[in-house]
């Protein structure tokens, strides 16, 4: 008996009954590219390794810090100061010793996104919330390659889900982002489009969100919810069970409020402007970031 095959089969046997043997084999042959190994991205890798996905490409230029301990899969006292991609790759290999992982310890942008996605069957967005340009590069690159890309945001006590397909609405169009915007405006547009619905009674404390220092609240429960939602969507796509529900459809799950929201959100430039206006009024640090960039552009 082939020992390697036997180990994988034994490790994934409890998937069978919900997955067929052919579907499990499809997952084993698949390659998933995960951009970001911090909060949601690290949990994506671990969940998908346990699901039996056999190949990954993972990117993150950062190391683990104390502030990561409350939510990131690879953050432990012994991993502080260590590379996120190397740490997470080692954790995945502890689940499946034969897993294939290519490491990209770099920040993603338009110059390297093609190399990152070259072998990928699917792309997952685990990029830090504030890194909007890297996020745009990922989704635009996936579209050009003809593969699906998925975003799930840990918002409040819940999680959102948006799937972008090769022929669906583009990332920029869905979020109302244009090249002429400042980075602050692009972040505001992304935040507004990320949330199909969020109860005002459970909205985040705006004083705890700082766009200049790139800090905001997040709960591990919401981040792990993202991982569960995305893992199911990855399984659906890679096993070709059915076509995913792509944008402009969007989903939001809030277990604290015991609610589930499904919306179809066509883009409306007037509404986009109104939403950005209120975002700038609510978050002074967003205004300061916007004004700093405008001054820099004016001086250039």
What phi and psi values does residue 252 have, to the nearest 5 degrees?
A: -140, 125
Nearest to 220 by CA among 94, 49, 13, 39: 39
HEC assignment per residue over 116-150: HHCCCCEEEECCCCCCHHHHHHHHHHHHHHCCEEE
* Mean pLDDT value across residues 90-95: 98
Instruction: Specify the pLDDT at position 199.
Output: 47
User: How much is the pTM?
Assistant: 0.93
Q: At 80, is the pLDDT very low, low, confident or very high (cuts 50, 70, 90)?
A: very high
What phi and psi values does residue 132 have, to the nearest 5 degrees?
A: -65, -35
Q: How many C-beta atoms surround the C-beta of residue 248 within 10 A?
A: 15
Burial (CB count within 10 angstroms: exposed 0-12, middle 13-18, buried 19+), residue 160: buried
* Mean pLDDT value across residues 47-54: 98
Q: At 277, is the pLDDT very low, low, confident or very high (cuts 50, 70, 90)?
A: confident
Residue 247's H or E segment, with its range, is none
**CA 258: distance to chain centroid?**
23
CB burial readout 220-229, b (16+ within 10 A) else e: eebbbbbbeb
The CATH classification number of 3-299 equals 3.40.50.720
Give domain limits for the chain.
Answer: 3-299
**Tens digit of pLDDT for each residue in 17-46?**
999 999 999 999 999 999 999 999 999 999
Query: Of 95-104, 189-198, 231-240, where does mean pLDDT reach its minimum?
Result: 189-198
Q: How many C-beta atoms surround the C-beta of residue 13 within 10 A?
A: 11
**Tens digit of pLDDT for each residue in 165-203?**
999 999 999 998 988 899 999 999 998 888 765 444 456
Nearest to 240 by CA among 23, 71, 72, 28: 23
Quote the mean pLDDT of the chain: 91
**Tens digit of pLDDT for each residue in 236-257?**
999 999 899 999 999 999 999 8
What angle, 0 to 180 degrees and rounded to 10, lies between the N-to-C axes of helices 269-282 and 183-194? 110
**Tens digit of pLDDT for each residue in 124-161?**
999 999 999 999 999 999 999 999 999 999 988 999 99
**DSSP strands (E only) in 97-248:** 100-104, 122-125, 148-151, 154-155, 158-164
At residue 216, does pLDDT exceed 80? yes
Question: Is the previous residue joined to 248 through a cis bond, with omega within 30 degrees of 0?
Answer: yes
State what percent of residues in the chain have pLDDT above 70: 94
* Mean pLDDT value across residues 201-219: 79
Burial (CB count within 10 angstroms: exposed 0-12, middle 13-18, buried 19+), residue 67: exposed
């Amino acid at each position: 008996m082939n020992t390697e095959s036997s180990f994988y089969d034994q490790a994934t046997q409890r998937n069978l009954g919900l997955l067929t043997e052919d579907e499990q084999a499809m997952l084993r042959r698949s390659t998933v590219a995960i951009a970001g190994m911090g909060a949601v991205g690290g949990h994506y890798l671990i969940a998908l390794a346990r699901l039996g996905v056999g190949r990954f490409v993972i990117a993150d230029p950062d190391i683990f810090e104390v502030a990561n301990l409350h939510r990131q899969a690879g953050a432990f006292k012994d991993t502080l100061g260590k590379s996120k991609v190397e740490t997470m790759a080692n954790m995945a290999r502890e689940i499946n010793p034969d897993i294939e992982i290519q490491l990209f310890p770099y920040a993603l942008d338009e110059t390297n996104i093609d190399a990152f996605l070259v072998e990928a069957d699917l792309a997952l967005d685990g990029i830090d919330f504030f890194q909007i340009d890297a996020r745009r590069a990922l989704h635009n690159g996936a579209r050009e390659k003809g593969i699906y890309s998925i975003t799930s945001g840990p918002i409040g006590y819940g999680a959102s889900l948006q799937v972008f397909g090769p022929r669906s609405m583009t990332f920029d169009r869905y979020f109302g982002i244009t090249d002429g915007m400042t980075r602050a405006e692009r972040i505001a547009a992304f935040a507004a489009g990320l949330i199909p619905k969020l109860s005002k009674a459970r909205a985040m404390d705006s004083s705890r969100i700082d766009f200049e220092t790139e800090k905001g609240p997040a709960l591990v429960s919401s981040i792990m919810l993202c991982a569960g939602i995305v893992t199911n969507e990855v399984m659906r796509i890679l096993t070709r069970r059915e076509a995913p529900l792509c944008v402009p459809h969007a989903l939001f799950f809030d277990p604290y409020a015991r609610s589930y929201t499904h919306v179809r959100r066509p883009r409306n430039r007037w509404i986009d402007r109104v939403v950005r206006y209120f975002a700038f009024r609510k978050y002074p640090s967003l205004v300061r970031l916007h004004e700093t960039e405008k001054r820099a552009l004016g001086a250039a």
